[in-house]
Structure 1
Amino acid sequence: MPSFYLEPLGCAKNQVDAEVIISLLLDAGWELVEDPAEADLIVVNTCGFIRDAKEESLETAFLFRERFPDKRILLTGCLAQRYGRELGEGMEEVDGVLGNADLSAVVDAARQVMEGRRVVWTPQARRPAHVRRKRLLSFPGSAYVKVAEGCDNRCSYCAIPLIRGRFWSRPEEEIVQEVKGLLGEGIREVNLVAQDLGSYGKERGGSLSGLLERILELQGDFWVRLLYIHPDHFPWEILRLMGQDRRLLPYVDLPFQHVSARLLRRMGRRGDAERYAELVHALRDSLPDVVVRSTFLLGFPGEEEEDLDALARFLEEVRLDWAGFFVYSPEEGTPAEAWHREEGRKGRVRLERAERRKEDLERLQEGITGERLERWVGRECEVLVEERIEGEDMALARSAFQAPEVDGLVVVHGEGLEPGRVVRVRVLKRNGIDLEGVCLSQ
């Protein structure tokens, strides 16, 4: 059978799709290779969320074509789903384009591409393809589990509903069995992801807390981390479960996006600085060691200097553990993109200002994060080892208060630190937004 190489791009949800594609091709008899030079087919699993991600996806495909002019290239993922026809007609550098609405179609699409036929397929009807993933793209011991697809929030700047459609939840039993299988394969950290995790089960008469109760009935010592909960409808009942079972990590990811009530209404959101501050304080009152992360969108149409000043004041007051900042990207087909076009030059100036203020806010938050991390110095905690440092009795690891890829790390000193293991560490000091400690258990 032919061989393939897959280049994964985009978010954790897209990573799960890439892992499903890999497994479907493996099940069909294909061979996965780690070097694109050895592959018969190169699959680029694209991201189409914002402009930079789109450009990266296209540049990646162009680079593969330049390096490997004789190989077959298949585009999959979000960009392929949204712009399949345009890419199929105008991008001769690729041999096929397959959207992500029906991942099971990848086997047939790959076969046709290898036979020399040009494939352009963007299914409109969604057909979930949940298979046992044979190859995970995370660090050892960690896995993402996508519990829902699509989104119903319709934020005015976001193209996700245009790409992935309406919100729908996977059946509880299906998710529980997937988690059980991953634990049986040695996974120690299960990261539950969805575009709006807090809405899980709403259209089925279920709830996120109900799903978590089922997962926590499973035996074993593991972590469950919740990623991406919309702050306007936070599921308060999960706090009880976090307090009862230490395996459900007290880590809450709340994408506030802004604190200006005026801008948040234009975004299609209900919050403001006062409500969001109250939410964070309530979380800390319920769980003293809770870790709160958020993201903020800068340069949105209508944003003024005073809105950015208000955001800086919010950060200084609330003192989030982690925060990321992104400059607004006008996305075709969204209401905000039309507002941005109407602004003309003023809109371009606004984005330039946002780029400058982004650096200021990142410096501010880095200091706050460092201060928040100081409370862990001198304490003991469990960490998941990600990778060893070559030639040293050291490894890079993450604790319960550090999510994969987006937060800092713990540098651990000790022998026999194998990736995928959970070990106990005493934190000795802080280095910027990272910690350093010594292993207490072997």
Structure 2
Amino acid sequence: MVEEQRLKISVIGTGYLGATHAACMAELGFDVLGLDVDQAKINQLSSGQVPFYEPGLQEVLQRNLASGRLRFTTDYAEVGAFADVHFLCVGTPQQADSNAADLTAVDSALDQLAAELKRPCVVIGKSTVPVGTAARAQARLATTAPAGKQVGLGWSPEFLREGLGVEDTLRPNRIVIGTNSERVESVMREICAPQIERGTPFLVTDLQTAELVKVSANAFLATKISFINAMAEVCEASGGDVIQLARALSYDDRIGGKFLGPGLGFGGGCLPKDIRAFMARADELGVEPALSFLREVDAINQRRRARTVDIARGLIGGSFAGRTVGVLGAAFKPNSDDIRDSPALDVASTIHSLGARVTVYDPEALDNARREHPDLSYASSMLEAVRDAEVVLLLTEWAEFREADPKELTEVVAQTKIVDGRNALDPALWRERGWTYRALGRP
């Protein structure tokens, strides 16, 4: 029997999404060629080192480099000659002068890739883009690629959660492909066959709906997070307890308990910029009022940071000038070294600007934090960060911080005062150990 020839895959862009996707496609048995214009990043990945922290990814990367199924390059010509399917995974950051998404990298990647598409193939976009981008990309490929209309296009949004990226790629909770081509749908079904066989829902939509799925999901999650944080504001004013409130709400199966975690709010490279880009695109489409509520979602999220600063300032007598503050957390979430739009670093930097001596510790994000905020001081351990502190702020809910022994911290701090910005600690335990405990939305 002749062995069936498997599709060969390229992944354009090797940031968080692309590096994870490339390694996991190889893990599924495909021959994969990853491309990036950053030679240093390609060298690092080719040597088996992941440029960011993601649990489990380095092992997958090294295993598939060793097997020969995974390689990396900076050469678009090599990618064009190699792959049957090209996944577009480049970044879409917020523009410097507006809320809209910056599509410079997407357009550049499409143009450089198109020039090398000389035979029938499929391009699958995974980047989070404003609705309408895929249709424009389809027209662009048809007119600029040598293979013309033999290049099929689809858009398949990613749903990765940082810290769970490998699991979410290998075992997604749904797969969405937007396309008007039966060939593209067939190719995606072939690639995703292992997941489909395990029962993963496979949804086929038009291009525009597929583009809307990711931003709609992020907008909904951001709204849910900001809703419970708005209730925290009400609880603080009325004497209620937002943790008890969230628990009571979670038993309503129309609401559920996921993302009802009150605290410092969301950050990172996706939710904040995606909801802002969504609002900007709605304005361009003439339906800005439909998403006007997202402006308050964003505003509530920002207010939580200011409120955390206010609580800490109140604990030490109303002024940070000359005070010593220990901050636990720099990443925007645990199990990540991502500091993009990090609430923790925003609060730490604000307190520093108000005159405090601020020392930060994070298990994984210190190198990134030092580059972006060289004005802050950094420690190599939790105890070092809080030594002589007059107030401690827990701002990223790493397990190391959630499981901290209040007695151990008592021995090194100047004052036993803590602000739990993530509602991650047991208030009764800390108060029993002699600490003044404050948290957002709790009496």
TM over 0.5: no
Comparing both structures, which one devotes a greater share of its residues to strand?
A: 1
**Which structure has the bigger radius of gyration?**
2
Structure 2 length normalisation: TM-score? 0.34
Q: Which has the higher contact order (CA 8 A, sep 6+)?
A: 2
Comparing both structures, which one devotes a greater share of its residues to helix?
A: 2
Structure 1 length normalisation: TM-score? 0.34
